[in-house]
């Protein structure tokens, strides 16, 4: 991964990922069958879970990504000490298709005892109404058909569309206004407005100044005791592949103020 980070003066810095699944001289390496090259927000800047917060960053995703790729996550928001291991919100690039998902506890009848998580599709390169709203968490079985980019372009508006098949999703409404743009071989400017909460969750997102989607409702996992903090990390996290993947990050800003993230009002218009 190549990362160019240019934070505003008031904004914190990133740190290298010291996950024990990383081959790093400063930590013990425990092979887990995944490949990752990520940078995290510095721990002393993590926010309380459920904070009303804005993010802006420019990202570039390698156009050499192959359609056979099962799973690639580049940019995810996670909960410190979460009851489950999955991200609360993630940018996914499986099968050369850009999607954004949230996760929650699976409350639907389960065919498998280990299907305790529900992944909810909230934005896609295709109209959201063509895909199920939720499916059980099983990364090994995740195969996403590639997108025909001639049909799914930034100018294609789906209109406000809510996914119809609830699947395992409960208590969450995902509305998509435009399809996600093709990110492969292009710089894209992403803006996220977040309140990651199981009670009154909110995710709004824009790409290149176009409002993509809005999700409200139950986001995250149930847990005994108090929930802790949330944090963002960026970089390639994937199943083992036989090819290199390069991603880039620039102009990263995080703030509780919309104006600091979008001072001109052109990146996240109403």
CB atoms within 10 A of CB 45: 16
Q: How far apart are CA 212 and CA 175, in angstroms?
A: 9
For the stretch 6-45, pLDDT in tens is 433 344 456 554 554 454 555 565 555 678 888 999 989 9
Is residue 265 left, alpha or beta, with left meaning phi > 0 and alpha meaning psi from -120 to 50?
A: left
Amino acid 187: pLDDT: 97
Measured between its terminal Cα atoms, the distance across the chain in Å is: 33
For the stretch 71-94, pLDDT in tens is 889 999 999 877 677 899 999 998
CB atoms within 10 A of CB 162: 12
Q: State mean pLDDT over 189-202.
A: 95
Q: Which of 83, 109, 97 is nearest to 166 (CA)?
A: 109
Burial 128-148, CB ≥16 within 10 A → b, else e: beebbbbbbbeeeeeebeebe
Amino acid 241: pLDDT: 78
Amino acid 226: pLDDT: 63
- Percent helix, strand, coil in the chain, to 5, is 5, 40, 55
Amino acid 100: pLDDT: 96
CB contact set of 155 (below 8 Å; sequence gap of 6+): none
Amino acid 14: pLDDT: 60
> Please, are residues 168 and 108 in contact by the beta-carbon 8 Å criterion?
yes
Q: What angle do CA 206, 189, 99 make, to 5 degrees?
A: 60
For the stretch 214-266, pLDDT in tens is 999 999 988 766 678 999 999 988 877 777 888 999 999 999 999 999 999 99
For residue 130, name the pLDDT band (cuts at 50, 70, 90): confident
Q: Hey, which bits of 129-171 come out as E strands?
A: 134-136, 157-162
pLDDT averaged over every residue in the chain? 82
For residue 207, name the pLDDT band (cuts at 50, 70, 90): very high
pTM of the model: 0.86
Domains of the chain: 14-261 (2.60.120.200)
CA of 50: how far to CAs of 71, 95, 219, 250, in Å?
Answer: 27, 31, 10, 25
């Amino acid at each position: 991964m190549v990362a160019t980070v240019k934070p505003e003066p008031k904004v914190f810095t990133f740190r290298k990922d010291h996950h024990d699944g990383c081959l790093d001289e400063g930590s013990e390496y425990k092979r887990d069958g995944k490949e990752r090259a990520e940078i995290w927000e510095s721990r002393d800047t993590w926010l309380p879970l459920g904070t009303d917060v804005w993010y802006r960053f420019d990202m570039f995703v390698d156009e050499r990504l192959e359609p056979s790729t099962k799973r690639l996550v580049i940019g995810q928001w996670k909960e410190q000490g979460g009851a489950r291991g999955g991200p609360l919100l993630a940018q996914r690039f499986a099968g050369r298709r850009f999607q954004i998902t949230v996760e929650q506890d699976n409350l639907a009848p389960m065919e498998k005892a280990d299907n305790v998580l529900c992944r909810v599709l909230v934005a896609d390169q295709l109209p959201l109404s063509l895909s199920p709203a939720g499916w059980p968490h099983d990364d090994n079985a995740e195969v996403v058909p590639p997108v025909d980019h001639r049909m799914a372009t930034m100018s294609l508006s789906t209109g406000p569309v809510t996914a119809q098949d609830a699947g395992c999703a409960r208590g969450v409404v995902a509305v998509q206004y435009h399809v996600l743009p093709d990110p492969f071989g292009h710089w894209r400017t992403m803006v996220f407005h977040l309140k990651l909460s199981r009670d009154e969750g909110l995710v709004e997102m824009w790409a290149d100044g176009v409002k993509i989607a809005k999700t409200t409702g139950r986001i995250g996992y149930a847990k005994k005791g108090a929930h802790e903090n949330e944090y963002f990390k960026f970089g390639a996290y994937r199943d083992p592949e036989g090819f290199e993947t390069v991603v880039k990050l620039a102009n990263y800003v995080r703030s509780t103020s919309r104006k600091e993230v979008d001072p001109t009002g052109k990146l996240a218009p109403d």
